Chain A
Amino acid sequence: MVAACTLALVTAGGLVTSNDAALAVPDWPLNWGRLVPPLEGGIRFEFAHRVLALLVAALTAWLAVWMQRREPRPWMRRLAWWAFAAVVAQALLGGALVKLIDPKVLAIAHASLAEICFGLTVAIVAGYYGAGGAGNWVARLAAAVLFLQAVLGAAVRHGALGVAPHIVGAVIAAGVAMWASLGVMMKHLDQGEMPRPAVALLVFTAVQIFSGLAAYSVRAASVQDPQPMPLTVWTTVAHLVIGAGTLGAAIVLAMTSEGGKPTSR
């Protein structure tokens, strides 16, 4: 549930950026000087993002405390506390963005830390269901490259970079992700059962390539139109969310011993 809420939060953050609504609420932590602002236009996106952030912070805190009491593996307990710390840092970063009027560096850091928050919650879920082995180094490389690709994507979205580095990064990230997933799948061909994380990474990677092409094409086609166009918003946010899913799949694969079977809890 925490991972799902975190993904919802990432989606809400994407909607805020795509709708250019980050500064629709000029104050923080209050909203237009009160708890609930007037809900219109871009304020709705920003306020929903803040409410979801509060929910995720509460859930992550609850998860960390719960795991502290129930989870026997120290690394899992640490992971939960790291997730909570990352969410708190993310909230403070969000506040700084509002106070400092959306400097690009902070905006990119905010988007990047969101991926880390999501990745940590995915790792906790994977760990809960038994993953946690040394895993596959190519999958770990894939997770790292996909994260860097997400940072590049954030830089493009916030106008710090042109799209070219992100496209080059996409080719590299797709190559490494396919290498990681296909490598594991090849190993398991004779066992008649495909390891789910490897299949998931391959599918997410393929869908992500097409969603990226769709987002770029729609943006290019509507460049003369008054922005934000709904189709531009949704294709871009879909690309962002599928990208987070791809990263999540790579993390699960990286945590799964031999890429297929979870290690015992």
Chain B
Amino acid sequence: MRKIWITAGVACVLTLAGCGGGEKPAPKADAGATPAASGAATPDMDNGATITGKVIFDGTAPARKTLDMSAVPACTAAHKTPAKSEELIVGADKGVKNAFVWIKSGLPADKTWAVPTTAVAITQEGCMYTPHVVGIMAGQNLDIKNGDPTNHNIHPMPKVNADFNQSQPPGAADIEHVFPREEVLVPVKCNIHPWMRAYIGVVSHPFYAVTGDDGTYTIKGLPPGTYTIEMVHEHWLDQPQDQTITVGAKDNKTQDFTLKG
């Protein structure tokens, strides 16, 4: 009996020592992931359609909350005025910043899209992520930088892709990662500084955008067709909005979204 317990204990320890994920990200593509196909398509900027629009806040815009960074002087010192939450930023003209808009369905299923060779960067500056919301293609390199004189840990929390959690001291090399599967949106957090949040929209094609300061977005080069266009905002993460839109070649269409406060 004693041998059984000892064997079970050793097995537990070995399992813990061997199981992965705690430190190393998993950048390799897996089965079912978006392939980096040769001869993959790129958006036709000359003949493709353009969708523009605005994400509008309906109601009284809430004041942005002040983030309490007082526990970490290096973070506080990076801001001349107290940093504000980026969870919901409504501009003077009711435009909502940092909404993620993407073509959810309607693209030809047999078409693969070229993955840009340039990486998308997220920088930790002043103990905040810049940009706060970013789009990236499945298979594209994500480059995570630490521009702070303090320690961070990078902890994305995907549901479809593999998660990882990695420390990044000041001056450390950039962390590179690839999300192989489409997933909108992947929250990213730092457990050292719990106010830090970023969101990554991982899409299998290049037709996505993040709304700017005025709440507007533009998606260009879309092939003619009928699409479901979706808007997701972190404040209403479980309430994405879908709309159907039909575009022809060289069309300029408008698709606005409204978020009720």
Question: A interface vs B, CB < 8 Å?
Answer: 19-28, 32, 38, 40-43, 46, 92, 95-96, 98-101, 224-228, 230
Are B191 and A226 interface neighbours, CB within 8 A? Answer: no
Known contacts A40-B72, A225-B65; decide if A27 and B191 are in contact (CB<8 Å): no
Q: How long is the Cα–Cα vector from A228 to B166 in the complex, in angstroms?
A: 21
Determine the chain A residues whose CB is within 8 A of the CB of B13 once the complex forms: 92
Closest partner residue, chain A, to B69 (CB atom): A41
Q: How long is the Cα–Cα vector from A40 to B150 in the complex, in angstroms?
A: 9
Are B153 and A23 interface neighbours, CB within 8 A? Answer: yes
Are B151 and A226 interface neighbours, CB within 8 A? Answer: no
Are B165 and A43 interface neighbours, CB within 8 A? Answer: no
Are A99 and B16 interface neighbours, CB within 8 A? Answer: yes
Determine the chain B residues whose CB is within 8 A of the CB of A32 once the complex forms: 151, 167, 169
Query: What 0/1 readout, one digit per residue, does chain B (188-224) give for beta carbons within 8 Å of chain A?
Result: 0101111100000000000000000000000000000
Question: B interface vs A, CB < 8 Å?
Answer: 12-13, 15-16, 19-23, 62, 65, 67-68, 71-72, 74, 85, 87, 150-151, 153, 155, 163-167, 169, 189, 191-195
5 extra A-B contacts, CB within 8 A, seeds A40-B192, A226-B68: A20-B191, A23-B191, A26-B167, A226-B65, A226-B85
Are B16 and A96 interface neighbours, CB within 8 A? Answer: yes
Q: How long is the Cα–Cα vector from A228 to B65 in the complex, in angstroms?
A: 13
Partner of B71, one of A41, A46, A100: A41
Are A42 and B191 interface neighbours, CB within 8 A? Answer: yes
Determine the chain B residues whose CB is within 8 A of the CB of A98 once the complex forms: 22
10 chain-A/chain-B pairs, Cβ below 8 angstroms: A21-B194, A26-B153, A27-B23, A40-B192, A42-B194, A92-B16, A96-B15, A99-B21, A101-B164, A226-B67
Interface of A is mostly: loop
B214–chain A nearest beta-carbon distance, Å = 24
A-B contact count (CB 8 A): 87
Determine the chain A residues whose CB is within 8 A of the CB of B150 once the complex forms: 40
Q: How long is the Cα–Cα vector from A38 to B169 in the complex, in angstroms?
A: 9
Q: How long is the Cα–Cα vector from A224 to B85 in the complex, in angstroms?
A: 11
Closest partner residue, chain B, to A21 (CB atom): B191
Known contacts A40-B150, A95-B16; decide if A224 and B65 are in contact (CB<8 Å): yes
Q: How long is the Cα–Cα vector from A27 to B19 in the complex, in angstroms?
A: 12
Are B192 and A24 interface neighbours, CB within 8 A? Answer: yes
Are B21 and A101 interface neighbours, CB within 8 A? Answer: yes
Determine the chain B residues whose CB is within 8 A of the CB of A28 once the complex forms: 16, 22
Determine the chain B residues whose CB is within 8 A of the CB of A225 once the complex forms: 65
Q: How long is the Cα–Cα vector from A41 to B124 in the complex, in angstroms?
A: 15
A16–chain B nearest beta-carbon distance, Å = 9
Are B22 and A226 interface neighbours, CB within 8 A? Answer: no
Are B195 and A101 interface neighbours, CB within 8 A? Answer: no
Are A20 and B194 interface neighbours, CB within 8 A? Answer: yes
Determine the chain B residues whose CB is within 8 A of the CB of A228 once the complex forms: 194
Closest partner residue, chain A, to B73 (CB atom): A40
Q: How long is the Cα–Cα vector from A41 to B167 in the complex, in angstroms?
A: 13
Determine the chain A residues whose CB is within 8 A of the CB of B85 once the complex forms: 226
Are B87 and A42 interface neighbours, CB within 8 A? Answer: no
Are A43 and B12 interface neighbours, CB within 8 A? Answer: no
Are B189 and A20 interface neighbours, CB within 8 A? Answer: yes
A68–chain B nearest beta-carbon distance, Å = 16
Determine the chain B residues whose CB is within 8 A of the CB of A95 once the complex forms: 16
Q: How long is the Cα–Cα vector from A99 to B20 in the complex, in angstroms?
A: 6
Are B68 and A24 interface neighbours, CB within 8 A? Answer: no
Q: How long is the Cα–Cα vector from A43 to B195 in the complex, in angstroms?
A: 14
Closest partner residue, chain B, to A22 (CB atom): B191
B146–chain A nearest beta-carbon distance, Å = 13
Determine the chain A residues whose CB is within 8 A of the CB of B192 once the complex forms: 21, 24, 40-43
Are A19 and B65 interface neighbours, CB within 8 A? Answer: no
**Residue of A24, A25, A92 contacting most chain B CB atoms (<10 Å):** A24
Q: How long is the Cα–Cα vector from A25 to B155 in the complex, in angstroms?
A: 11
Determine the chain A residues whose CB is within 8 A of the CB of B166 once the complex forms: 26
Determine the chain B residues whose CB is within 8 A of the CB of A20 once the complex forms: 189, 191, 194
Q: How long is the Cα–Cα vector from A100 to B18 in the complex, in angstroms?
A: 11
Closest partner residue, chain A, to B66 (CB atom): A226
Are A41 and B62 interface neighbours, CB within 8 A? Answer: no
Determine the chain A residues whose CB is within 8 A of the CB of B194 once the complex forms: 19-21, 41-42, 227-228
